[in-house]
Each structure stands twice: as C-alpha cells, then as structure tokens.
Amino acid sequence: MNYTDEQRAILAQYEPYLRTAARSDWARNPGPRALEQINDILYAGKPHKPRVNYGCQQCILSVLRDAGRAYFADLEELAAKPEKPKKAENKAAKPAGGKTPGKTRKAAKTEK
C-alpha cells in the first residue's frame, strides 16, 4: 500500500505500537483516538471499513498488526525506490549581463 506523506506522519507517531504488533505478535493499546486514526488510514479508499472494538485485545492486535505490516512494507519500498535526478539548469545559455540574445535584439530595435 502506498501511503501519502500525511498518512506516514500520522503512522510514525504510533510506530512503536505498530512494530510491536507486526513483529512480536502482541500489542499495547495506544488508545481509542489512535486506533481510529490507524483504522481510517488502513482502510482508506476501500468500500468497507470494519469497526474496531476498543475493549477487545484481539481486535486491537489485528488492526495494529495489519497496519504495521503495511506501514513497514511501504517504508522499505520507499527506501528502495531511487530518487529521480533533478534536471540541470542550462545557465551557460544566458550571457553574463543576464539578458538572453532575444532580449538584447529587442532592446537594440527599440533604441533605433
């Protein structure tokens, strides 16, 4: 899953919880607001978003584990993706005065 930068920033706040759930298969409860945010991000763009029972530790573990696996896979994919090289500006085309040949011709015509 490809997360946006905003979603990654939200999930980064809960990274210890996600790491514990994804790698150790147990979870600490980050709180209902955090679970709501994580669940919204996990199921963003999908037609059905399951509800999370905040009192059920198995439900909490399931959401955190699924979100953690997707989050860390996204981070690995992002790290493996090479950055696009920036286009080099052609500064040699402009003369030292800062005027391009077209501008100097126009300026010469107006002075006549």
Single out the residue of 2, 68, 1, 75 nearest to residue 34, CA to CA.
Answer: 68
How is the chain split into domains, by residue range? 1-112
- What is the pLDDT averaged over residues 96-109? 60
| Helical residues (DSSP H) of 14-100, grouped into ranges | 15-19, 32-42, 57-80
The more confident residue out of 53 and 105 is 53
Helix H or strand E segment including 7: helix 5-13
Q: Say if residue 75's pLDDT is above 80.
A: yes
Q: What is the pTM of this model?
A: 0.67
Q: Say if residue 16's pLDDT is above 90.
A: yes
